[in-house]
């Protein structure tokens, strides 16, 4: 149900003013902005169907057959099967007509009517009834454990007349809760309605904070739950880690579908790689793809380096491989011709040969070494 702290003065909603600490937990639950509220349709009467919000964002449509002057946020008493209930006006006017068409609801006699605006006594009695919800929830869970039923009870909503209560539960398989209904009706003296909801709806009713730091989409604005497949993560090059891809409901995150169409359009221009690229240097396998920059990284088995290539170059290599040809490398089609080192240094070699110094001839030693010795005899030598 909507926030009960909101008040209306002179037809203007004053707001909750609790700065994010609303005690009812109803703030920001499926809120809508009626951007046609101050616009009147020329020559037509005001649409008499009103959208009413109940506990945890549950909404339904009711007919304003009495012509009441309603304002968004007003508490009203509405007709329900076997009694009455209190809800808050969430939308009225031409936007409600669009919502009826979107949700395929027929504007006929099946739509229940609005009795009147809720008085202060009605709101006080409703607050007393809501105090039964938490103890009833705990007691019902104990009964479910005793009966060993494979079901998870997540929420209870009492009608304002304290005659009926709706039990919201989730289960993987079909559950036989006939015995459970007998026990609940006998213990709490109420009419019991069991309503099965999906895990995504359960997370929307309970609320919470996502990994993005914001409130869960399913509890604030998302009402239509589409199928989310693991292929959405593959197209976006996300790691297939269940702990990171799963939300608080235990299913794949709904936000995986938000940008999927944009990725699908960008992937139309990315070539499909069914095997490694064949080059004379070796086989290059795809390592990473930047979809929006249209750059693909390839690496060789024998190396740890990744080489970025644009999609034009990748298509060119694929075309050469289909023709049975191999480029020299990922960035060159033909290997550069290397000039031998001897050819480059031939001039220097010729210069070295030209100016190479020839070996000097050794001079013959003069004879007559004995005469020199005779000329300078050593002392004491004999002549």
**Residue keyed to tokens 């015995």:** 179
**Same domain (yes/no): 308, 278:** yes
- The pLDDT tens digits for 54-106 are 998 889 999 999 989 998 889 999 999 889 999 999 998 888 999 999 888 88
pLDDT at 350: 72
**Same domain (yes/no): 62, 86:** yes
pLDDT at 1: 44
Q: Please indicate, yes or no, whether the overall pTM of this predicted structure exceeds 0.85.
A: no
pLDDT at residue 121 greater than cutoff 50 = yes
User: How large is the average pLDDT for residues 12-17?
Assistant: 55
pLDDT at residue 156 greater than cutoff 90 = yes
The span from the CA of 342 to the CA of 27, in Å, is 85
Q: Tell me what percent of the residues of the chain surpass a pLDDT of 90.
A: 52
Among candidate residues 172, 202, 232, the one where a domain is terminated: 202
CATH number at residue 151: 3.30.300
Domain assignment present for residue 262? The answer is no
- pLDDT band, residue 355 (cuts 50/70/90): low
Residue 331 is encoded by which pair of tokens? 């960035």
**Same domain (yes/no): 14, 95:** yes
Q: Which range (33-42, 78-87, 168-177, 209-218) has the least confidence? A: 33-42
pLDDT at 114: 95
**Same domain (yes/no): 122, 25:** yes
Domain assignment present for residue 58? The answer is yes
Among candidate residues 97, 126, 155, the one where a domain is terminated: 126
Among candidate residues 202, 229, 254, the one where a domain is terminated: 202
Domain assignment present for residue 331? The answer is yes
pLDDT at residue 5 greater than cutoff 70 = no
User: How large is the average pLDDT for residues 227-256?
Assistant: 91
Domain assignment present for residue 248? The answer is no
pLDDT at residue 342 greater than cutoff 80 = no
Domain assignment present for residue 251? The answer is no
pLDDT at 20: 47
DSSP state string for 35-102: TTTT---TTSPPP-EEEEE-GGG-EEEEE-TT-----TT-EEEEEETTEEEEEEEEEESHHHHHHHHH
**Same domain (yes/no): 31, 118:** yes
Q: Which range (183-192, 220-229, 327-336) has the least confidence? A: 327-336
User: How large is the average pLDDT for residues 331-357?
Assistant: 67
pLDDT at residue 368 greater than cutoff 50 = yes
Domain assignment present for residue 373? The answer is no
Considering only CA atoms, give the Rg of the chain.
44
**Same domain (yes/no): 181, 167:** yes
- The pLDDT tens digits for 225-236 are 889 999 999 999
**Same domain (yes/no): 63, 171:** no
pLDDT at residue 376 greater than cutoff 60 = no
pLDDT at 21: 47
Task: State the residue range of the domain holding 44.
Answer: 7-126
Domain assignment present for residue 32? The answer is yes
Which of 149, 193, 155 minimizes the C-alpha distance to 171? 149
**Same domain (yes/no): 106, 19:** yes
**Same domain (yes/no): 24, 119:** yes
Domain assignment present for residue 88? The answer is yes
Structural domains of the chain, count: 3
pLDDT at residue 320 greater than cutoff 50 = yes
**Same domain (yes/no): 187, 93:** no
**Same domain (yes/no): 170, 118:** no
**Same domain (yes/no): 46, 136:** no
Mean residue pLDDT of the chain comes to: 83
Contact 231, 260 (CB under 8 A): no
Q: What are phi and psi of 9, to 5 degrees?
A: -130, 120
The span from the CA of 349 to the CA of 368, in Å, is 47
């Amino acid at each position: 149900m909507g926030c009960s702290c909101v008040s209306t003065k002179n037809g203007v909603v004053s707001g909750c003013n609790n700065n994010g600490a609303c005690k009812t937990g109803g703030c920001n639950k499926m809120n809508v902005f009626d951007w046609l509220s101050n616009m009147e349709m020329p020559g037509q009467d005001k649409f008499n169907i009103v959208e009413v919000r109940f506990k945890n964002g549950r909404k339904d449509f009711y007919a304003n057959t009495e012509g009441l002057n309603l304002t968004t946020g007003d508490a009203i008493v509405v007709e329900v099967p076997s009694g009455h209930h209190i809800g808050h006006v969430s939308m009225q006017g031409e936007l409600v007509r669009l919502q009826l068409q979107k949700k395929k609801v027929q504007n006929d006699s099946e739509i229940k009517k609005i009795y009147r605006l809720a008085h202060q006594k009605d709101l006080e009695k409703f607050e007393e009834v809501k105090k039964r919800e938490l103890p009833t929830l705990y007691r019902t869970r104990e009964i479910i454990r005793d009966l060993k039923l494979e079901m998870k009870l997540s929420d209870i909503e009492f009608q304002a007349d304290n005659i009926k209560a709706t039990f919201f539960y989730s289960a993987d398989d079909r559950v036989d809760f006939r015995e459970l209904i007998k026990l609940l009706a006998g213990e709490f003296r109420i009419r019991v309605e069991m309503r099965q909801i999906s895990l995504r709806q359960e997370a929307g009713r309970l609320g919470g904070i996502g990994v993005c730091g914001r409130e869960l989409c399913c509890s604030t604005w998302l009402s239509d739950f589409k199928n989310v497949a693991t292929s959405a993560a593959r197209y976006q090059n996300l790691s297939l880690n269940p702990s990171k891809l799963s939300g608080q409901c235990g299913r794949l995150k709904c936000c995986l579908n938000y940008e999927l169409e944009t990725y699908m359009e960008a992937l139309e221009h990315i070539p499909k790689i069914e095997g490694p690229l064949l080059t004379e240097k070796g086989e290059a396998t795809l390592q990473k793809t930047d979809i929006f920059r249209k750059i693909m990284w390839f690496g060789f088995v024998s190396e740890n380096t990744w080489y970025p290539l644009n999609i034009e170059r990748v298509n060119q290599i694929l075309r050469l491989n289909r023709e049975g040809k191999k480029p020299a490398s990922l960035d060159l089609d033909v290997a550069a011709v290397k000039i031998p080192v001897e050819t480059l240094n031939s001039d220097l070699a010729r210069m070295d040969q030209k100016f190479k110094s020839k070996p000097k001839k050794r001079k013959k030693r003069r004879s007559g070494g004995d005469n020199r010795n005779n000329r300078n005899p050593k002392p004491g030598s004999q002549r």
